[in-house]
């Protein structure tokens, strides 16, 4: 029998316990399955053993990663409880990658990795604890930003996360726990105009928004500066144009670019700085079953490199 494993990660007091408790009380999720809840980090909020028992949930607290998460101990718990589902409140100071490398009992399969982020303190963590944020968020399937008040810039949060993790679903919750959307007024672009000039400091925000919502830019004339890399891998004359972002550390830089269809790009040397002006179009990738933004009817003009070349958000 397959046993789905749900991993909840995030820093202490980021809302993991509350989210797990709400999930267990959600009748759409919990219909009485026997659940094994492994608590690897205890904060101010604690699970009520009496209520857990009513929800057919058995709680085990694990303080030591090597002993508590060893195959022998996990198998012992699995044999004793015979769970139909496993939920894990992960320690925010431990690497998720270490968990993914563990040998687990037969049938245990990762169903979803959920990360919680306290939006009120996220900017400080992104600025001063980037490597820790990277470890917590890069494997997540779902990232929930909670406690979003009016001072929180959701576009800033999204752009920083997308540098780590392009595929995760992002959810923003206000201080009342209600889900909010990212508004166009939070982006530094005037969508009422047919042409959008993307300033160097706004490239990261634009790129992440275009990655998530390519249709928003469909038909717009876009203009920005980036590094050109001609490629012959496609049946069209494609030039990848973009910039590098420091994802976690100086040694971990990632190219963030878009495909520009331009015949003249064949003569460019890889790494040439260019200014792109062209029409945005939405194409479809059948392999990933997703849409993406491309630029057609373009003009590539060699230019001087910008002063601060790495992408910032």
Q: What ranges do the domains of the chain cover?
A: 3-180, 192-302
For the whole model, what pTM was predicted?
Answer: 0.66
Which residues, 6 or more positions from 247, have their beta carbon under 8 angstroms from its beta carbon? 134, 163, 164, 253, 254
Say if CB 79 and CB 130 are below 8 A apart. Answer: no
> Which of 118, 127, 198, 115 has the alpha carbon at shortest distance from 160?
127
> φ and ψ at 91, to 5 degrees?
-75, 125
Beta bridge partners of 34: none
Q: Looking at residue 222, what is its pLDDT? A: 97
Q: Looking at residue 159, what is its pLDDT? A: 79
Which residues, 6 or more positions from 75, have their beta carbon under 8 angstroms from its beta carbon? 105
Confidence of residue 248 (pLDDT cuts 50, 70, 90): low
Is the model's pLDDT at 62 over the cut of 90?
Answer: yes
Most confident of 79-83, 120-124, 166-170: 79-83
Asked: is 192-302 a CATH 3.40.50.720 domain? The reply is no
Buried b (16+ CB within 10 A) or exposed e, 58-88: bbeebeebeeebeeeebeebbeeeebebbbb
**CATH class of domain segment(s) 3-180:** alpha beta
CA angle 93, 137, 58 (to 5 degrees): 65
Beta strands in 29-91 (DSSP E): 35-39, 57-61, 85-89
pLDDT tens, position by position, 82-139: 999 999 999 988 899 999 999 999 999 999 999 999 998 888 888 888 888 888 898 9
Most confident of 10-14, 83-87, 189-193, 268-272: 83-87
Strand 35-39 to strand 169-174: parallel, antiparallel, or no bridges (unpaired)?
Answer: unpaired
Distance from CA of residue 193 to its chain's centroid? 30
């Amino acid at each position: 029998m397959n046993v789905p494993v749900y991993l909840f990660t995030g820093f202490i007091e980021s809302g993991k316990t509350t989210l797990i408790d709400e999930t267990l009380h959600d009748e759409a999720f919990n219909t009485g399955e026997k659940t094994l809840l492994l608590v690897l980090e205890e904060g101010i909020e604690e699970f009520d053993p009496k209520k857990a028992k009513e929800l057919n949930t058995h709680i085990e607290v694990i303080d030591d990663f090597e002993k508590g998460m060893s195959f022998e101990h996990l198998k012992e718990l699995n044999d004793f409880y015979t769970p139909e589902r496993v939920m894990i409140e992960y320690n925010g100071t431990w690497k998720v990658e270490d968990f993914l490398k563990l040998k687990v009992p037969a049938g245990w399969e990762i169903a979803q990795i959920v990360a919680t982020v306290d939006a009120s303190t996220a900017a400080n963590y992104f600025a001063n604890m980037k490597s820790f944020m990277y470890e917590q968020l890069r494997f997540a399937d779902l990232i929930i930003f909670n406690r979003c008040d009016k001072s929180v810039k959701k576009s800033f949060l999204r752009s920083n996360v997308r540098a780590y993790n392009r595929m995760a679903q992002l959810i923003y919750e206000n201080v009342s726990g209600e889900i909010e959307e990212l508004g166009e007024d939070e982006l530094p672009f005037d969508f009422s105009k047919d042409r959008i000039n993307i300033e160097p400091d706004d490239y990261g925000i634009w790129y992440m928004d275009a990655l998530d919502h390519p249709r928003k830019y469909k038909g717009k004339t876009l203009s920005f500066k980036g590094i050109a890399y001609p490629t012959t891998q496609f049946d069209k004359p494609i030039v990848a144009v973009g910039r590098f972002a420091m994802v976690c550390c100086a040694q971990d830089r990632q190219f963030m670019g878009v495909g520009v269809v331009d015949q003249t790009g064949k003569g460019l040397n890889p790494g040439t700085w260019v200014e792109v002006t062209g029409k945005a179009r939405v194409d479809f990738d059948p392999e990933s079953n997703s849409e993406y933004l491309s630029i057609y009817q373009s003009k590539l003009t060699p230019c001087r490199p910008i002063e601060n070349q790495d992408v910032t958000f």
